[in-house]
A and B are shown apart, each in its own frame.
Chain A
Amino acid sequence: MNTFWQTSTFFGIFITLFFYGVGMFLKQKVKHTLVNPLLIAIVFTILFLRVFGIEYQTYNNSANYISYLMTPATICLAVPLYRQLDALKRNFKAVMFGIASSVIVTMVSVLGFSRFFGLSRTAYVTMLPKSITTPIGIGVAEELGGYVAITVASIVISGILGNMFAETVCKMFGIQEPIAKGIAIGCSSHAMGTVKALEMGEVEGAMSSLSIALAGILTVVAASVFATLL
């Protein structure tokens, strides 16, 4: 049976789509933060692989095909951004200031926590790119000599957290301006958070999309400076 999984092109793609469908169905039935389609699909897929004793690599050989759409999908985020061009132009300074400050806040707080936990330099630089989009994060971690697999894990977990709790956090901490919400989400939880921002509104989605690109690029520069500080 295991050999069947290994040769199947579509099982990984199918169970990914299927469990995401289950997640969306449950979300319509139960309105709760923890009933998050992304989280449900991840958990169910992991359980499925465990129950049937399927290796991640075997699953990913199939599921990987949908990952190839990530680059084109990310590029398409330019469309909501363009639709909000006026909002961007009108608030250009605030947007740039917000994104730049997010990068500084990320770097400073990772540095602070790393000192607190007495992390090695390798572990510290592993965490520096945790808030940005995966492909840039991998590049930064490789360049600074971090543990790339852990960087990827930290990016994914940040994204899931942002996707799940963005609305609650914005409400709890009085972040009401759609532009501020979008930037907060995009800068803390990249594209996975942006999916939630797009659900919240077009302005939120557009600003979050812009943050992925700009916070990502700024982090490349800032991380190389901050890497020397521990």
Chain B
Amino acid sequence: MKLFKQFTIIIALSFIGEVLHALIPFPIPASIYGILLLFLLLEQKTLQVDDVKEVADFLIFIMPLLFIPAAVGLIDAWNELRSSLTAYVTIIIAVTLIVMVATGRITQWFLRLSRRYTDENT
């Protein structure tokens, strides 16, 4: 009964996300509306973590699996990628690395800066 209730809540949020996606003319998918909505409901204490916990933990645990069908689809994209393979592959690899390093370093710098600032003023 508990799992049933949790699953129903999560599917309801997915559905509400779809409704918002249909109503709002931006390319924001149902999942993003859903994550923001669930976060707000938890933050406002309308929902408790216990209302979704077990099913949420399970779905997050199996999440890597859910990417596999799309990733296997790379075999079909091969012909299109081949047109400018070097450019695409370089951009994908280099930009992923650059963004990860730059974002991590910038965030860390800002964190430590604001922490030092707070320490000096307390």
Which residues of chain B come closer than 8 Å to A91, judged between CB atoms? 111, 114
Q: Are B68 and A70 in contact, CB atoms less than 8 angstroms apart?
A: no
Q: Give B72-98 interface residues, CB cut-off 8 Å to A.
A: 72-77, 80-81, 84, 86-88, 90-98
| Shortest distance between the CB of B58 and any CB in chain A (Å) | 9
For A38, the closest partner residue in chain B by CB is: B64
From B18, B26, B36, B101, A213 is in contact (CB under 8 Å) with B36
> B17, B43, B63, B65: which has the most chain A beta carbons within 10 Å?
B65
Dominant secondary structure of chain B at its interface with chain A: helix
Q: Are B49 and A16 in contact, CB atoms less than 8 angstroms apart?
A: no
CA distance A56 to B97 in the complex (A): 30
| Shortest distance between the CB of B62 and any CB in chain A (Å) | 7
For A21, the closest partner residue in chain B by CB is: B65
> Is A160 part of the binding interface, using a Cβ–Cβ cutoff of 8 Å?
yes
Q: Are B77 and A149 in contact, CB atoms less than 8 angstroms apart?
A: yes
Q: Are B65 and A16 in contact, CB atoms less than 8 angstroms apart?
A: yes
> Is A28 part of the binding interface, using a Cβ–Cβ cutoff of 8 Å?
no
From B37, B100, B114, A189 is in contact (CB under 8 Å) with B100
Q: Are A220 and B67 in contact, CB atoms less than 8 angstroms apart?
A: no
For A77, the closest partner residue in chain B by CB is: B35
Which residues of chain B come closer than 8 Å to A209, judged between CB atoms? 35
CA distance A123 to B53 in the complex (A): 42
Which residues of chain A come closer than 8 Å to B95, judged between CB atoms? 106, 109-110, 113, 127, 130-131, 158
Q: Are A49 and B99 in contact, CB atoms less than 8 angstroms apart?
A: no
Which residues of chain B come closer than 8 Å to A72, judged between CB atoms? 10-11, 13-14, 34, 59
> Is A200 part of the binding interface, using a Cβ–Cβ cutoff of 8 Å?
no
Extra A-B contacts (16), CB below 8 Å, given A67-B66, A212-B32: A16-B69, A42-B68, A56-B72, A67-B70, A70-B31, A72-B10, A75-B17, A99-B103, A130-B92, A131-B99, A133-B31, A150-B77, A158-B96, A177-B107, A212-B35, A220-B28
Q: Can you offer 25 A-B residue contacts whose CB atoms are under 8 A?
A: A16-B65, A16-B69, A63-B69, A71-B30, A75-B14, A75-B38, A79-B42, A82-B42, A98-B103, A99-B103, A101-B102, A101-B106, A117-B90, A127-B92, A130-B92, A133-B29, A147-B80, A156-B73, A158-B92, A179-B107, A179-B111, A180-B111, A188-B97, A194-B63, A213-B32
Chain B residues with CB under 8 Å of chain A are: 10-11, 13-14, 17-18, 26-32, 34-39, 42-43, 49, 52-53, 55-57, 59-60, 62-77, 80-81, 84, 86-88, 90-108, 110-112, 114
Chain A residues with CB under 8 Å of chain B are: 12, 16-17, 19-20, 37-38, 41-42, 45-46, 49, 56, 59-60, 63-64, 66-67, 69-83, 85, 91, 93-95, 97-99, 101-102, 105-106, 109-110, 113-114, 117, 119, 123, 127, 130-131, 133-136, 138-140, 142-143, 147, 149-150, 152-154, 156-163, 166, 169-170, 173-177, 179-181, 183-185, 187-189, 191-192, 194-195, 198, 209, 212-213, 216-217, 220
